[in-house]
Each structure stands twice: as structure tokens, then as C-alpha cells.
């Protein structure tokens, strides 16, 4: 199976 990570895993809050 595959998992869908969120975009916040790659881009951090500013």
C-alpha cells in the first residue's frame, strides 16, 4: 500500500 503525506511534511510554516 501507499501513504499520502501532507504538504506540511515538505514545506514548513513561516
Partner 1 sequence: MLELRLVQGSLLKKVLEAIKDLVNDANFDCSATGFSLQAMDSSHVALVALLLRSEGFEHYRCDRNLSMGMNLGNMAKMLKCAGNDDIITLKADDGSDTVTFMFESPTQDKISDFEMKLMDIDSEHLGIPEAEYHAIVRMPSSEFGRICKDLSSIGDTVVISVTKEGVKFSTRGDIGTANIVCRQNNTVDKPEEATIIEMTEPVSLTFALRYMNSFTKATPLSSIVTLSLSSDLPVVVEYKIAEMGYIRFYLAPKIEE
Which parts of this chain interact with partner 1 (CB under 8 A)?
1-14
- Shortest distance, position 10 Cβ to partner 1, whole Å: 5
Phi and psi based region of residue 2 (left: phi greater than 0; alpha: psi -120 to 50; beta: remaining): beta
All 3 cell numbers of residue 13? Answer: 510554516
- Shortest distance, position 6 Cβ to partner 1, whole Å: 4
- Shortest distance, position 4 Cβ to partner 1, whole Å: 6
Phi, psi of 7 (to 5 degrees): -70, -25
Amino acid at each position: 500500500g501507499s501513504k499520502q503525506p501532507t504538504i506540511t511534511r515538505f514545506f514548513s510554516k513561516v
